[in-house]
Amino acid sequence: MAQHFYISAVSRLVEPLDRTLMALLLAVLALSLTIQYSANDMSLQATQQHAIRIGIGLLALLAMAHIAPRHLRRWTPALFLLNLLLLVVVVFYGSGSTAQRWLSYGPIAFQPSELLKLTIPMIVAYVLGPSLPPLSTLRVGLVLGLVAFATWLVAIQPDLGTAFLVFAIGVSVILLAGISRWWILGFGALSGISLPFVWQYALREYQKDRIRIFFNPEADPLGSGYNVIQSKIAVGSGGLSGKGWTQSTQAQFDFLPEHSTDFIFSVYAEEFGLIGVALLIALYLAILWRVVALSQAGPDRFSQLLIGGLGLSLLMHVLVNIAMTVGHAPVAGSPLPLLSYGGSAMISTLAAFGMMMAARHYAHARHK
């Protein structure tokens, strides 16, 4: 009897999980542990730390998977406001080497801007979900304002890379919600016009440097361009089958900065070569398209927008990070989802997958 009870309890616990997506995620997480061991100089302690974060992330995934979208929706405004509040706190009390991005409480430190990558799709889905196309101008205006405000709070930390991603995620969910083509065109034109002003007044010198370096990394090989040059050396020297696990000379000898966080892909590409890279990109693509499939079913607009928004967020992160490692995007300081070292991103990414699975599960459940 008791045994039967446990089995049914466990099966109820894992019921909301999407088997396909889980399998894909666990495959990427296995690669993540493997490459982190190598990128952290074969330190068991650091690898263990990473494993613990993955564990917490998976628990968060499981927890989120059990929260029905309607509950999530109810809590959305409060969560978003809390996130904004934390961002304000960061501006005043945050810590970090070059910018204030971290909030610490005892031994725990996290980046509220990472949380934003969840709450932004939520708030946009919350505001625009009830409105059917053609969307009400008031709601679009309101949600754009909220996204812009959150973006601004991140930008002044300053963390331009994350700010860009936050803004792009917000706009992409608005796009999904069915905004008219005229809005898109008008917005595009506005961005084009404001670009020179942003360059002139909003950007700090080191941020401008990063953008300049993006266009010409060899101009300053020991300074800002150094990371990109060393990263390209790592990727290119990997060859077809890589230098082998733990054999990355670029990371092992510290030529490649940030090699366990922002540039983890370069280490991966150096050690596992083109074959490994193709495998990893295939896994990311499979995850993405599985997410697209999940979003298909729901008659619930909030859930659909949320799944779509989180999926696009994942896509943009993967694109921006990998493009950066081969010099096709500025060094923005954004992690590669699921692979990079760092708790905030890992946990919020896995939690996002929990939300997507919940949205799918409860949509199905309602259908039945």
Partner 1 sequence: MTPATQKGDLHRSIAQTHRRLRLLVSFGSLLLLLLLLRIGWMQTIHTAHFTALSTENHLRQIPLPPSRGLIFDRHGTLLADNSVAYSLSLIPSQVDDLDATISKLRELANIHDREVQRFQQRGQGSKFETTPLKIDLSEETIARVAVQLHQLPSVYLEAYAARRYTYGESMAHVLGHLASISKRDRERIDLYRYRGIQRIGRAGIEHQYESLLLGIPGLQQAEVNAQGRSLMVHDRKVPTPGSNLVLTLDADLQRVASDAMAGLVGAVVALEPSTGDILALVSAPSFDPDVFGHSIDPDDYQNLIRDAKNPLLNRAIQGQYAPGSTIKPFIALAGLESGHAIPDKQFFATPQFKIPNYRRPFRDWKDEGHGWVTVSSSITQSCDVYFYSLAYRMGIEALEPFLAQFGLGQTQQLDLPGERPGLLPNETWKQKMYGQPWYPGETVIMGIGQGYLLLTPLQLATATAALATRGIRMKPRLLRAYGQDGEIIENPPEELGRVTLSNPAWWDLVTNAMVDVVHAPNGTAWRSGLDAAYRIAGKTGTAQVISYGEKRPDSEDLPEHLRDHSLFIAFAPAEAPKIALAVIVEHGGHGSTMAAPIARQVLDAYLLRPL
Calculate the alpha carbon distances from 100 to 88, 185, 315 in Å.
Answer: 11, 35, 26
Window 191-230: contact mask with partner 1 (x via CB under 8 A): -------------------------------x-------x
What is the distance between the alpha carbons of residues 256 and 238, in angstroms, rounded to a whole number? 14
Span near partner 1 by CB under 8 A; candidates 49-57, 115-123, 148-156, 315-323: 315-323
Residue 170 φ/ψ, nearest 5 degrees: -55, -50
Contacts 24+ apart (CB under 8 A), 146-155: 146/80, 146/170, 147/120, 147/123, 147/171, 147/174, 149/84, 150/83, 150/84, 150/87, 150/116, 150/120, 153/84, 153/87, 153/88, 153/91, 154/87, 154/113, 154/116, 155/202
Stretch that binds partner 1, among 158-166, 190-198, 201-209, 252-260 (CB under 8 A): 252-260
Q: Is 335 in the site for partner 1 (CB under 8 A)?
A: no
Beta-sheet pairing, 108-110 with 103-105: antiparallel
249 near partner 1 (CB under 8 A): yes
280 phi/psi in degrees, rounded to 5: -65, -45
Residue 90 or 144: the one with the smaller Cβ distance to partner 1 is 144
The interface with partner 1 within residues 145-174 (CB under 8 A) comprises: 172
Tokens at 323, concatenated: 């493009």
Q: Which is nearer to partner 1, 127 or 177 (CB)?
A: 177
- 355, 64 contact by CB (below 8 A): yes
Whose Cβ is closer to partner 1: residue 155's or residue 209's? 209
Choice between 112 and 335, CB closer to partner 1? 335
- Contacting residue, 78, 240, 367, 368, with partner 1 by CB under 8 A: 240
Q: Are 320 and 165 in contact (CB under 8 A)?
A: yes
Residue type, 357: M
> Partners of 105 in the beta sheet?
108
Binds partner 1 (CB under 8 A): choice among 31, 65, 140, 177? 177
* CA distance between the termini of the chain: 29
Contact between 294 and 359 under an 8 Å Cβ cutoff? The reply is yes
Q: Which one of 44, 239, 247, 364 is in contact with partner 1 (CB under 8 A)? A: 239
Among the listed ranges 45-53, 62-70, 71-79, 302-310, the one in contact with partner 1 (CB under 8 A) is 302-310
Q: Give whichever of 147 and 322 is closer to partner 1, judged by the CB atom.
A: 322
CB 176, min distance to partner 1, A: 5
Residues that bind partner 1 (CB under 8 A): 132-133, 172, 175-178, 222, 230, 232-240, 249-250, 252-255, 269, 273-274, 277-278, 281, 284-285, 288-289, 292, 295-296, 298-299, 301, 304-305, 308, 311-312, 315-316, 318-319, 322-323, 326, 328
